[in-house]
């Protein structure tokens, strides 16, 4: 049976790859796409998501716009310096215009209605700030019972990318992330940047995508600004397809190897704001120092077959 999936996203070049990965996979039932503030303002993430679906000829997939800002505190900045001013290296307008209008419902309503209407569990893949998902869980606990897994791109076990401590998606709305990761509403998988960096694709992979056909070439055309950023961040010519790594796990469970540990989000206003504190101590040591109080646990992705993952992405995006 096809994997039922909803993507919550802030496109973003790697979001574009992740949406296309799901939209082009015949073993995925993509029920909807919801958008959130993040890499660029909500109006831009929303039109970008709709244009990517139009590129993939998926006018059957509804898109609803969600939160224009974090739940509690405004983020000091977006990530136009990484993804380009329009979120897609300045190439958004070159994509096909969507024939399907924007859904009249807001993102949380669309998420809740899609979940409630489903007779089998649904995976949600949030690949932007977690604002919409926290609001969904808070407002619609019955719908949350229909969630199979929430597979999140976010967090860092080592250093961050937006600050020394924090990865962008979690840093953009730490209070929302804390709600989703510790609320115990649905099983969570966290795909942190430590692993997504190791899955980076190189120039040869990108050349192959470009030569693979019209959709591959159109996706490749979105990468110049993003690739320039990652040439600096990686120190070699390639780019990190963070969100596509998480969506690969969402559509093929078990693609990533995970460790089940408690995770907390730092919500203070010090230099650690937005850090994900994954408690990887041995359970016996944790219990000895913290007492017996059970903490809700998260499956944190720590490893994968890197070559197989890159081959899967290329195969599906052609
Ligand atoms: C995450 O932040 C965004 O810039 C990317 O789209 C990805 O979701 C990586 O830290
Ligand atoms: Ca993203």
Q: Kindly report, residue by residue over 86-144, the tens digit of the pLDDT.
A: 999 999 999 999 999 999 999 999 999 999 999 999 999 999 999 999 999 999 999 99
Q: Which ligand 1 atom lies nearest to the CA of residue 13?
A: 6
Q: Kindly report, residue by residue over 186-239, the tens digit of the pLDDT.
A: 999 999 999 999 999 999 999 999 999 999 999 999 999 999 999 999 999 999
| C-alpha torsion sign, points 100, 106, 109, 169 | positive
Please tell me the distance between residue 243's alpha carbon and the centre of ligand 1 in angstroms: 7
The residue whose CA is least distant from atom 4 of ligand 1 is 39
DSSP character for 87? S
The residue whose CA is least distant from atom 10 of ligand 1 is 168
Q: Which ligand 1 atom lies nearest to the CA of residue 240?
A: 9
Q: CB under 6 Å to ligand 1: residues?
A: 12, 14-15, 39, 79, 82, 127-128, 153, 161, 167-169, 193, 242-243
Known catalytic membership, residue 242: yes
* Closest residue by Cα to residue 247 from 87, 37, 24: 24
| Helix boundaries (H) for 161-282 | 168-172, 174-182, 193-198, 203-210, 214-220, 224-234, 242-251
DSSP character for 58? -
Higher pLDDT, 292 or 314: 314
Counted residue by residue, the chain has a size of 318
Q: If 0-12 CB within 10 Å is exposed, 13-18 middle and 19+ buried, where does residue 96 land?
A: middle
* pTM across the whole model: 0.97
Q: Kindly report, residue by residue over 14-51, the tens digit of the pLDDT.
A: 999 999 999 999 999 999 999 999 999 999 999 999 99
Q: What torsion do the CA atoms of 291, 187, 313, 238 make, to the nearest 10 degrees? A: -40
Question: How many other CB atoms are there within 10 angstroms of residue 159's CB atom?
Answer: 13
Whole-number pLDDT of residue 23: 98
Please tell me the distance between residue 210's alpha carbon and the centre of ligand 1 in angstroms: 22
Please tell me the distance between residue 193's alpha carbon and the centre of ligand 1 in angstroms: 9
Quick check: 72 pLDDT over 90? yes
The pair of structure tokens assigned to 87 is 């979120």
Q: Kindly report, residue by residue over 137-195, the tens digit of the pLDDT.
A: 999 999 999 999 999 999 999 999 999 999 999 999 999 999 999 999 999 999 999 99
Q: Which ligand 1 atom lies nearest to the CA of residue 128?
A: 8
Domains, the chain, with CATH or none: 3-317 (3.90.245.10)
Whole-number pLDDT of residue 293: 63
Please tell me the distance between residue 242's alpha carbon and the centre of ligand 1 in angstroms: 6
Whole-number pLDDT of residue 285: 85
Mean pLDDT, range 262-284, rounded to an integer? 93
Whole-number pLDDT of residue 292: 60
Residue with tokens 């992705």: 301
Q: How confident is the model at residue 263 (pLDDT cuts 50, 70, 90)?
A: very high
Quick check: 246 pLDDT over 80? yes
Whole-number pLDDT of residue 311: 97
CA 71 to chain centre: 18
Please tell me the distance between residue 289's alpha carbon and the centre of ligand 2 in angstroms: 36
Terminus-to-terminus CA distance in the chain, angstroms? 23
Whole-number pLDDT of residue 274: 97
> Which of 83, 140, 229, 242 is the catalytic position?
242
Q: For residue 35, which ligand has an atom nearest its CA? A: 2
Query: How large is the C-alpha radius of gyration of the chain?
Result: 18
Q: Which ligand 1 atom lies nearest to the CA of residue 153?
A: 8
The residue whose CA is least distant from atom 2 of ligand 1 is 168
**3-class DSSP state for residue 293?**
coil
Whole-number pLDDT of residue 97: 97
Cα–Cα distance for residue pair 281/283, rounded to 1 Å: 6
Task: Name the residue of 7, 9, 10 to mutate for ligand 1: max ligand atoms within 8 A of Cβ.
Answer: 10
For the chain, give the percent of residues with pLDDT over 90.
91
Q: For residue 233, which ligand has an atom nearest its CA? A: 1
Q: What are phi and psi of 88, to 5 degrees?
A: -130, 50
| C-alpha torsion sign, points 124, 163, 17, 262 | negative
Are 165 and 124 a contacting pair, CB within 8 Å? Answer: no
Mean pLDDT, range 246-261, rounded to an integer? 97
């Amino acid at each position: 049976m096809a994997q039922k999936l909803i993507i919550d996203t802030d496109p973003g070049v790697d979001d574009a790859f992740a949406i296309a990965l799901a939209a082009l996979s015949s073993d995925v039932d993509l029920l909807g796409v919801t958008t959130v503030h993040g890499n660029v303002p909500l109006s831009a993430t929303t039109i970008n998501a709709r244009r990517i679906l139009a590129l993939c000829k998926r006018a059957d997939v509804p898109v609803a716009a969600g939160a224009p800002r974090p739940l509690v505190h405004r983020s000091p900045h977006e990530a136009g310096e990484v993804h380009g001013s329009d979120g897609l290296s300045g190439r958004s307008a070159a994509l096909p215009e969507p024939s399907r209008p924007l859904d009249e419902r807001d993102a949380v309503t669309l998420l809740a209605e899609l979940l409630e209407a489903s007779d089998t569990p649904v995976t949600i893949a949030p690949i932007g700030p977690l604002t919409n998902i926290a609001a969904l869980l808070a407002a619609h606990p019955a719908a949350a019972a229909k969630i199979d897994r929430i597979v999140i791109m976010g967090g860092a076990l080592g250093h961050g990318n937006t600050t020394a401590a924090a990865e962008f998606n979690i840093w953009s709305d730490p209070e929302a992330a804390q709600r989703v990761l510790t609320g115990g509403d649905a099983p969570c998988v966290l795909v942190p940047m430590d692993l997504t960096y190791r899955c980076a694709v190189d120039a040869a992979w990108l050349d192959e995508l470009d030569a693979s056909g019209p959709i591959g070439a159109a996706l490749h055309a979105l990468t110049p600004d993003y690739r320039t950023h990652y040439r600096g961040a990686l120190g070699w010519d390639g780019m990190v397809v963070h969100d596509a790594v998480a969506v690969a796990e969402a559509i093929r469970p078990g693609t990533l190897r995970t460790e089940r540990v408690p995770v907390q989000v730092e919500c203070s206003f010090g230099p650690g704001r937005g850090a994900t504190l994954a408690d990887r101590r041995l359970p016996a040591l944790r219990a000895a120092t913290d007492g017996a109080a059970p903490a809700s646990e998260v499956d944190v992705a720590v490893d994968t077959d890197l070559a197989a993952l890159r081959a899967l992405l290329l195969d599906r995006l052609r």
